[in-house]
Amino acid sequence: MYEARKELVQRLNLKSIIIGGRIPNYHRFADEMSAREYVEAVTRHKIYDPVLTFQLLNDFTLMRINPNYLPDDKASKRYATLMEWNNVDYKATSKRHYKTSYPVRICVVQYLMRKISCFEEMANQCEYFVDVASDANSDFVVFPEIFTTQLMSFLDEPSPSRAVRKMAEYTPQYIEMFTNLAVRYNVNIIGGSHFVEEEDEEIYNIAYLFRRDGSIEKQYKIHITPNERKWWGISQGDEVQVFDTDCGKIAIQVCYDIEFPELARIATDKGAKIIFTPFCTEDRQGYLRVRYCAQARAIENQIYTVISGTVGNLPQTENMDIQYAQSAIFSPSDFEFARDGIVGETNANLEMVLIGDVDLEILRRQRQDGTVKQLKDRRHDVYHVEYKKD
């Protein structure tokens, strides 16, 4: 009967089935637990209920528990469940257009750190990569963390703490450059990250989003590595931002931040479907920490993650001697996604770009009807992540 109902709903292109269900075994436990506790115990397979258990096995989900639903139902103590089965193949027939696919194209820049003699040399290289991304009709192009430290290679300042403040003086040119490139080449730019001196005279590691409509957003790096504190005296940010774009909501988590799962969960709960992670690591061990954590965040939050790193070396620049990277785009791990949960990846330690497509509609469907449903199956009764800035 249930399968016949599902087939009918799919054939008629109906959105869902909503039913009221008895819980006929509840009277046996009514003196020990509330109706909600009983339903939760059945859901966890600790108690068998002939109606509710069968509905759960048929992929119905609990919407709510209704008291006084059937006054004569003494076995259910007058309680009933409201259950729903969603038709994932449903297509709206209204005038409103619903996409069966929502592709987003991402260009990831794996950037070679090289000695330069002026800001314009870096700007020329950045424009080249943005041009490549635009020619491929990319929606986003992402640069690595602090790739702008190559500006230090011509500043002739041996002290790292003074060099970083001199480099921060180029912030207006950096912002103007990427703002113009985003509009001119019609692509949203994650401008890596850049050291910025703010009004409090502290230096922050800030990642910028330059939208193709000319607007700008920024995300402060929240977790600062021991090296950043030791060499440059970098201060930490304290807010998780989620940004609206013409390709949905995104977040940026700079390098070390992706290694803290709470931040990705907060961003996901705020609606982010893609998390971009510009990074800069000097060895394979550091790189693998970023990579493995980005892959884990993609799986546990059912999102896409993107990592973009620096390669090459700046031998005359303190704390930027060597780089290691293999940039990539990651997806959840399920049948509808790429094998191994890897949309694409670059070769290690070569300057190049990676262009890959992600599909936000597949993401939506997988959250609803995937093999596993990490977001839906969270135990809010046992744990939660508290974001203290809301």
Task: Give catalytic residues, as residue numbers.
Answer: 145, 221, 255
Q: How many CB atoms lie within 10 A of CB 353?
A: 19
Residue recorded with tokens 């399968």 = 3
- Quote the tokens at residue 334: 């399920």
Q: At what angle do helices 119-135 and 171-184 cross, to 10 degrees?
A: 20
Rg (CA), the chain: 26
- Torsion angle of C-alpha atoms 335, 338, 339, 341, degrees rounded to 10: -100
Distance (Å, whole) CA 333 – CA 340: 7
Distance (Å, whole) CA 276 – CA 237: 17
Distance (Å, whole) CA 315 – CA 149: 12
Is 232 in a helix, a strand, or coil?
helix
Distance (Å, whole) CA 369 – CA 386: 27
Q: Which residues pair with 329 in a beta bridge?
A: 306, 344
The candidate with the shortest Cα–Cα distance to 142, out of 289, 309, 271, is 309
Helix %, strand %, coil % for the chain, to 5? 35, 25, 40
Distances, alpha carbon 293 to alpha carbons 253, 286, 299, in Å = 12, 11, 10
Q: At what angle do helices 261-269 and 284-301 cross, to 10 degrees?
A: 30
- Torsion angle of C-alpha atoms 356, 127, 235, 308, degrees rounded to 10: 20
